[in-house]
Amino acid sequence: MLPWHDIDFALLDMDGTILDRYFDDYFWEEHVPKRYAMGKKISYEKARRKLLAAYKAEEKTLNWTDVDYWSNRLGLDIVAMKEEIRDQVRIHPGVETFLQFLRDQQKAVILVTNAHPKTVKIKLEQTLLLPYFDTVLCSSDVGLPKEEIGFWREAESVLQFNKARSVLVDDNEDVLLAAHTFGIKHLLHKHHASSRAPKEAAGIFPALDYFTQLLP
């Protein structure tokens, strides 16, 4: 249970945190390799191995989630491909109830994500969650991924949040470590980021399984 009387700002990640990461896992690990294999006339298995290695090399960089970068590199219209299956985007259980609670309590609700703005637009339009957020900040707006402490320094400057009176919920421990070093007081690790993946083992930060756990 969080001390909500000491919290004014709720900083929430998108993919894997408020949204089921299964969509992204399926999209990048199955949907894109299938289309890439067809275009290059190679086997799905070969395409998948090649793309997973390419993704891995760009982790923790802005390119990792840059749909324009991958469109150019792979010769595919990544945004159009996401639009094709946008109806498969799912919200984690309890998220809408939690967001409404934050609005009722007059907390500042901020989406902080490594996702590209074009991806954010597709997903928030599909889920109808945009009205719950006061602000959306993407790592590309800052020029650094959330795994970098510099992201949080810039975010504080842009968003004017008080890190001593803020909570950050994220499914990525590297992001939480950077935020911890920066000084955000309340940090929660969203477990079970994908509904189709095994539950994660306990980590450094307090685990959150369902957002209803945060409701008084």
Catalytic residues: 6
Kindly give the residue spans of alpha helices, DSSP state H, lying in the chain. Answer: 22-26, 32-40, 44-57, 67-74, 78-84, 95-104, 117-127, 139-142, 149-159, 173-182
Query: β-strands 207-208, 135-138: how paired?
Result: unpaired
How many helices (H) and strands (E) the chain has is answered by 10, 6
Give the DSSP letter string of 142-157: HTS-TTSHHHHHHHHH
Backbone angles phi, psi at 188, to 5 degrees: -130, 140
Residue 170 three-state SS: strand
